[in-house]
Amino acid sequence: MKLVILGSGSYSGTPKPLCNCENCSRARTNPLLRRTRFSLYFERTLIDPSPDLHYHLGRLNRRVERVFITHAHFDHIAGFPELQVFRELDVYSHSQGVETAKRLALLFLGGASPDGRTWRYHGIPFNEWVELGGMVFFHFRTVHQPIENAGGFVFDVKGRKIAVTGDTGPEILKDGDAIRAMEGADLLIAEMTHREAIPKAHLGVKEAIELAKRVGADYTVFAHISHSNYTHEVLEKKVREAGVVGEVARDFTWVEV
Ligand SMILES: [Zn+2]
Ligand SMILES: [Zn+2]
Ligand SMILES: [Zn+2]
């Protein structure tokens, strides 16, 4: 099975308008260093419809049947109306994610299930395994203030286990339920937003690497990287030196699971 990180960046993307930091300056002249907002795709399943979804879908050119939303921050949900190109859609998130997606569809497409579409919304509980159509998944809660409900997912699909942290504060390192759910994953997608962790908001480089070690996935991809983080090359070096088997995502990094 193949999975693709559609967007490897965080809230403001790289380059961030008007920012002249090293990452933003380099990204303006080298498109390979640009980071669009976080999203990933596997098996007709989209995780997080980012504000860059139009570009992501245009380049990906594959069908989406299921959408999972980690949380209702702009960078993870604002592209939701772009899914109008698909007639049938199942949307999964906790109730806050589902309600926000419905509001966006109502505002921009005229209805939660727009005309001529069959869109179904599924509010899912935190910390329970849910089974549906050949896929089993677990939605764990993360600490990511100021948003009330945020989380990550573990998917069991075709005998492969894929874990996605979503946006999370370093408190996740003390969350036994979340770590147990992710443990032994074939693939972990971990956020690595900042150089230094921000309590109750985002992981730093050290915490993301620590999380990868605790989860012990066969392969780890670090993503959701802020323009103000280290350069891609420095991050790759830090991951390599820590002995983690994996890589730092760029936009459209493909991984075989
Ligand atoms: Zn984010
Ligand atoms: Zn910058
Ligand atoms: Zn967020």
> Is the predicted pLDDT of residue 129 greater than 80, yes or no?
yes
Residue 123 main-chain phi, psi, to 5 deg = -75, 125
Question: What distance in angstroms lies between residue 12's CA and the mean position of ligand 3's atoms?
Answer: 11
- In this structure, which ligand is nearest to the CA of 191? 1
Between 1.20.1260.10, 1.10.1060.10, 2.60.40.2700, 3.60.15.10, what CATH number should domain 2-256 receive? 3.60.15.10
- Note the pLDDT tens digit of each residue in 56-76: 999 999 999 999 999 999 999
Letter for the amino acid at 216?
A: G
Burial class (CB in 10 A: 0-12, 13-18, 19+), 185: buried
Ligand 1 centre distance from Cα of residue 11 (Å) = 5
The pLDDT tens digits of the residues spanning 36-58 come to: 999 999 999 999 999 999 999 99
User: Which of the ligands is closest to the CA of residue 193?
Assistant: 1
Reading the block at residue 112, the tokens are 């939660």
DSSP 112-137: SS-TT-EEEEEE--TT-EEEETTEEE
Model pTM score? 0.97
CA of 131 to the centre of ligand 3 (A): 26
Q: If you measure from the C-alpha of residue 145 to the centroid of ligand 3, how many angstroms do you get, rounded to a whole number?
A: 8
Q: For residue 18, how far is its CA from the centre of ligand 2 (angstroms)?
A: 8
103 or 158, higher pLDDT: 103
Closest among 209, 64, 73 to 151, alpha carbons compared: 73
**Integer Cα distance of 15 and 9 in angstroms:** 10
Q: What is the mean pLDDT of residues 78-86?
A: 98
Give dist(CA 189, CA 202) in Å, integer. Answer: 14
Instruction: Please enumerate in sequence order all residues whose Cβ is within 8 A of that of 243, keeping only pairs 6 or more positions apart, or say none.
Output: none
How many residues make up the chain in this entry? 257
Q: How far apart are CA 191 and CA 19, in angstroms?
A: 22
Contacts of 164 (CB under 8 A, 6+ apart): 40, 47, 70, 152, 153, 154, 155, 188, 189
pLDDT recorded at residue 135:
87
Q: How many CA atoms lie within 13 A of 49 on its CB side?
A: 26
By the 8 A CB rule, do 112 and 123 touch? no
Task: Read off the pLDDT band of 92 (50, 70, 90).
Answer: very high
User: pLDDT tens-digit profile of 138-158?
Assistant: 999 999 999 989 999 999 999
Spatial CB neighbours of 176, under 8 Å, sequence gap ≥ 6 = none
Q: How far does Cα 60 stand from its chain's mean position?
A: 16
Residue 134 is predicted with a pLDDT of: 76
Share of the chain above pLDDT 90, in %: 98
